[in-house]
A and B are shown apart, each in its own frame.
Chain A
Amino acid sequence: MKRQRVSLALVLLATLGGLIIVAPVLALLSRVPWSHLLSELSSSDSLNALRVSLFSSVLATVFAVVLGVPLAWLLARGPASITKYIRPLVTLPLVLPPTVAGLALLVLFGRNGVLGSWIYQETGWAMPFTFVAVVVAGVFVGLPFLVLVVESGFAQLPPEIEEAAETDGANPNQLFMQVAVPQVRGSIVTGAILAWARALGEFGATLTFAGSMPGITRTLPMQVYVALESNLANAYALSVVLVVISVTVLYVMRSHLMSVFKNV
């Protein structure tokens, strides 16, 4: 007989750990007004929030990929003496409280901001309270996920292929676009999905930086927060949408996620 590898104590701890994650979400599902879920979700406030959230998070993901993959490449191939100082900075949004993140964005891009005041003087346009601000907040919080995952993808590439391409006369852009990037497609997809999920759930930074106007800047998480004051059924219904999206993404991505975490 095989030697028993888990003890009762470990099973107990593991069960508690699992329950702390799953039980609150299950409890939430128990309150969802299933019978009139569709009518709750088809109210104009809900649809507006859904639209703002989907469009802004997808756009934020596109920008995160366009800016983040080159950043990941430089971090993976740049001189370690520099990258070791830059890498922690890239992950800053992961640990920054969202409200602080929003405040930082406001201080940079706001009408009175370091950069924003100049934009406002030149063009009369201010970023806060616009859809652009929602996207920028999404890029800010989502980018670290993409960079971390893609960098770990680049780091695992065997150097021989790049060396061979260089010997064959590939220039830096070709090396990046035609040799390196195609090999880390999986990592890019995983990173993009994580960044997207993070941007979709963002609340504090968006509220502080972009405000909360239905149809323009009010995202799903914000609509849930506002509905808590007045319409709990609506809050539960919208929460279930966020839960379903998140669970779907996590299950679809589970094999990719596993391989990423194994290599971190």
Chain B
Amino acid sequence: MNKKIAVIIALVLAATVGWQIHQKQNRDAVNNGISTDVNTTGEINVFAASSLTGTFTQLGKEFEASHPGVKVNFTFGSSSTLAQQIKAGAPARIFASASGKQMNEINDRITSPQNFVTNHVVLAVHSPDGLAGILKNQSVASILNQPQGVWIQCAHEAPCGTAADKALAAEGVTTKPKSLEPDVKSVVMKLLAKEADSGVIYQTDVVANAGNLVGLEFADQGAATTTYSIGVLDNKDALAGELLNFLMSRHAMDVYSKAGFGVPAQ
């Protein structure tokens, strides 16, 4: 009995340690650039803001198709959480953040980040029949100031909430949101469930839900806009560099643009 338990413990420990060593060897091989073979094939971990989920997943598959032997693993999440994880040593090789702020927090790890797309918040309302003419002529304030209306936004602490606060400041809104949701996903969910009449979300969320939502632009477009930042953790990492180039390519820009992102003019 005791022997059996001891054997099980030993096996579990051995498996754990073995896996760690295997991972470390992979990392070392990549970091040291032992051979070009290892350097441009294998798995590559990309950390990216949640709002990039759709576009990056598509582009990742395309990259894998044109690079046999490469597997792109994405971790999507809140930019500040991802930055914290990278700071704590998470094995990311590319990081794409929804604003420059989180990128700056790890400027000792990513030395040359670059701006790549923009996104902006809009007031999303339900659209049973597309962007109806009535809505087109209504301002954000006229919708939000309806006494019976329920509107929501992200918490002031979250990036989408900061953008919403800035954009709302110039609108002359006299009502208050019914909820300050922790992230944009939960705002979108409540809009789709029709528990809220309108909500401040990203343009890309509106495009992703084009059948159900339309977005009204804020007057202060500059305040409503956030610029995404992307960079590699190791400037000598050839595979990461190649993937980064692909994610910045003209073709990638078309993909972002279709999803509702703002891209630099050609």
A residues with CB within 8 A of B: 7, 9-10, 12-13, 106, 110-112, 124, 126, 128-129, 207-208, 211-214, 217-218, 222, 225-231
Contact = CB atoms under 8 A, between A and B. Distances in A.
B179 A211 contact: yes
Contacts of B195: 106, 110-112, 126, 128-129
Contacts of A129: 150, 152, 178-179, 195
A129 B190 CA distance: 10
A230 to B, nearest CB: 4
Contact of A7 (B2, B80, B194): B2
17 contacts: A7-B5, A10-B5, A12-B9, A13-B9, A110-B193, A110-B195, A129-B195, A211-B181, A213-B178, A213-B179, A213-B180, A214-B180, A225-B182, A226-B155, A226-B157, A229-B155, A229-B182
Contacts of A231: 157
B186 interface: yes
A16 to B, nearest CB: 9
Contacts of A225: 182
Most chain A CB inside 10 Å of its own CB: which residue of B9, B150, B181, B182: B182
Contacts of B177: 213
Contacts of B194: 110-112
Which of A7, A10, A212 counts the most chain B CB atoms within 10 A?
A212
B9 A9 contact: yes
A207 B6 contact: no
A106 B193 contact: yes
Given A112-B195, A128-B195, A226-B155, A212 B2 contact: no
Contacts of B186: 207-208
Given A9-B2, A129-B178, 6 more contacts: A110-B194, A110-B195, A213-B177, A217-B179, A226-B157, A226-B182
Interface string B1-24: 010011001000000000000000
A212 B5 contact: no
Nearest to B159: A229
Contacts of B78: 229
Interface string B143-187: 000001010100101100000000000000000011111100010
A129 B181 CA distance: 11
A222 B154 CA distance: 13
Contacts of A110: 193-195
B90 interface: no
Contacts of B181: 207, 211-212
A218 B180 contact: yes
Interface in B210-238: none
A212 B179 contact: yes
B120 to A, nearest CB: 20
Interface in B1-57: 2, 5-6, 9
Contacts of B189: 208
A225 B181 CA distance: 10
Contacts of B182: 207, 212, 222, 225-226, 229
Nearest to A227: B157
Nearest to B197: A111
Contacts of B190: 128, 211
A110 B189 CA distance: 13
A161 B78 CA distance: 60
Nearest to B152: A211
Contacts of B193: 106, 110, 112
B21 to A, nearest CB: 21
A229 B5 CA distance: 43
B155 A212 contact: yes
| Most B Cβ at <10 Å: residue of A7, A12, A129, A218 | A129
A230 B179 contact: no
B81 interface: yes
B179 A226 contact: no
Contacts of A106: 193, 195
